Chains A and B, each alone.
Chain A
């Protein structure tokens, strides 16, 4: 995804790529139609933590560490490989929760578990249409009421990092998934190796020390997490696009019709050229957005939305073209192409659709141009 990798980053990415190819090859993923078995995922995730997946957004002081000093870009490399292998695992929610705990300097025990991969966390940010989550102070406690949906990986998470409104701004609270008043209802999703849930909070009471970052002043950290989630989704989609495109290129070269390879027909060559352009552009905008978000540069929000809008739209465009060029076999479950299609379909709508991000981008444009 990035062209300017250090040799350490290259090694890091290759190590993860090899691990995923070995642990979750397409044949294994095809068996996950009803979800990833819990024991498999727990073991797999701990080994991923050993490879460094969980620590990248956490400073060394807090027990984490990145490969290049640019943690978000390092994590994007992993997200790209997750896309390229349609890999399971709560990469984004666990990373964002660990980042929040590390930055706030709270909950060292939970953070240690997240870093070790012995526990996972859900990033409970999105809200159902018309829903909200309110946090109130009551004595020394914080009380949560409302709903979060969809929450990735909440079903197996030990911790929930919950964003809510408090005193007109945001607060984030780390809630044990087993806390009284928390109801986690699994949802269905197109992606075999992802799981989502609806989480209801009915008078969930936690001590004030459960706050992650200053309660009622967490807007900035929430905004950064949301931007990071966008670039990670973009990077992951770019990886899935690469996998689908490579499969389709090989198919078009090997498949003969009317005595010629499909790839010799100009009508198809031109479509493959368009797809290559979308793919390169997806990598390019995802990489630039990742750098901007990591640097917290003033245009980070706009670039993150652009990366999400672009990879959302052209990710599915590319994958459906891959299906089209495969013909009927591309519509079947037995062919592996759908594994990557599922990932980009999911990522297109996760954390805001392309159209929603275009509205946000327009807001930035109108502000910048002083209109």
Chain B
């Protein structure tokens, strides 16, 4: 199979996709879906079935080496698959965050045994993975993690809390960043662990968002035992591993580990601006058409930028940190798109019923306009990365460098 050309692979994928898959549902696991829990759980179960079908068809883990259950093919093969997937359903939860960033980082940093056990399980649709990175105390300061892992024989014992995990209430495994050395400087005292989410000692609480969505979770870890064999990367190298998670996350749907339609709109099942304008009775209004054109321009420029940045990073012409450029664009474009949709909805943004069609519910969505500029890294952090790492401008002064983490000033708020 490793000798399969891109075009042979594409033809095989196309035949299978058309014969097997249903249409795209419109829903993606964006963390801001507002729908009944039974529906969400049914969607999760369906993703597992879908992922298994991809695996059985020899279309899962395109660039993952065969020894870990993948196909050992190239990013070009993955792109061909994604192009053929346009308009069809795909197992989005196995795409992000399971395969990327989690699977990608397991490949890079996990011990051999862990890789051989879990990567095939992911590809077979048996394990959905999450990132336990952010903490209630930290916000953007992810390396300031307080969750602590203490060595105990061949195990580690973890205590603390993680937050902003999308769908932890239905997920299986997590990569968890924990502090293993409080006497080392902030970034040097961290270690990454892999752990099953559903176990005694981990309590998962769903967080209710402004629009009623309950996908984001907070987890409380109490004396969670993790064997040292489930450590991902060296002790004290947790930040290195975490930055790879962030890198793969910023690559989003341009990651070679991601199976998703090349033309998929990301995010929720929201209607297009043009459809909202139509259902608000404003499609002939030049002002409305200006907004439709503006949203589309940002879509096209953003997609082109994503491809440019991904290609530049692949070829080494752009630094890895350039992914923050695409990230920043995407966050600002999402904010603008939310504003445009609310504007287009007109009166239906204030009060609506089902007869308002695509314009219904836009008012609720506008409440969470900033979600795209916060989740997955704030636009401010992206700006810092661009300014300091891409453009090489002077770094912000920080009061947490070169001193033991336990001596770093901390506020009272948790």
Q: Residues of A at under 8 Å CB distance from B?
A: 3-4, 249, 252-253, 261, 263-264, 266, 269-270, 272-274, 276-277, 280-285, 287-288, 302-303, 306, 309-310, 355, 357-366, 369, 371
How many residue pairs link A and B with beta carbons under 8 A? The number is 139
Interchain CB contact under 8 A, B382 and A366: no
CB-CB contacts of B135-161 with A at 8 A, as 1s and 0s?
A: 000000000000000000000000000
Check: B230 CB closer than 8 A to any chain A CB. no
Interchain CB contact under 8 A, B274 and A273: no
Check: B109 CB closer than 8 A to any chain A CB. no
Choice from B305, B328, B383, B387 contacting A284 with Cβ under 8 Å: B305
Docked Cα-Cα span, A288 to B301, in Å, equals: 9
27 intermolecular pairs with C-beta atoms under 8 Å apart: A3-B317, A4-B311, A269-B391, A270-B380, A273-B382, A273-B383, A273-B391, A274-B328, A277-B305, A277-B328, A281-B301, A283-B308, A284-B307, A285-B300, A288-B300, A306-B300, A309-B293, A309-B297, A355-B290, A358-B293, A359-B286, A360-B293, A361-B297, A362-B274, A362-B289, A366-B283, A371-B275
Choice from A264, A266, A306 contacting B301 with Cβ under 8 Å: A306
Check: B325 CB closer than 8 A to any chain A CB. yes
Contacting residues, chain B, for A287 (C-beta < 8 A): 304, 308
Docked Cα-Cα span, A252 to B393, in Å, equals: 9
Interchain CB contact under 8 A, A263 and B325: no
Docked Cα-Cα span, A365 to B278, in Å, equals: 12
Shortest distance from the beta carbon of A252 to any chain B beta carbon, whole Å: 8
Contacting residues, chain B, for A309 (C-beta < 8 A): 293-294, 297
Counting chain A CB atoms within 10 Å of each CB, the highest count among B297, B298, B309 belongs to B297
Contacting residues, chain A, for B380 (C-beta < 8 A): 270
Interchain CB contact under 8 A, B297 and A371: no
Docked Cα-Cα span, A294 to B69, in Å, equals: 41
Interchain CB contact under 8 A, B387 and A281: no
Known contacts A269-B383, A306-B296, A371-B278; is-contact A285 B290 (Cβ 8 Å): no
Interchain CB contact under 8 A, A310 and B297: yes
Check: B386 CB closer than 8 A to any chain A CB. yes
Interchain CB contact under 8 A, A277 and B394: no
Shortest distance from the beta carbon of B399 to any chain A beta carbon, whole Å: 15
Docked Cα-Cα span, A369 to B274, in Å, equals: 8
Main SS of chain A's interface residues? helix
Docked Cα-Cα span, A5 to B402, in Å, equals: 43
Interchain CB contact under 8 A, A280 and B396: no
Check: B312 CB closer than 8 A to any chain A CB. yes
Known contacts A273-B383, A281-B329; is-contact A358 B294 (Cβ 8 Å): yes
Docked Cα-Cα span, A281 to B312, in Å, equals: 13
Contacting residues, chain B, for A371 (C-beta < 8 A): 274-275, 278, 283
Contacting residues, chain A, for B206 (C-beta < 8 A): none
Check: B211 CB closer than 8 A to any chain A CB. no
Interchain CB contact under 8 A, A358 and B325: no
Interchain CB contact under 8 A, B283 and A3: no
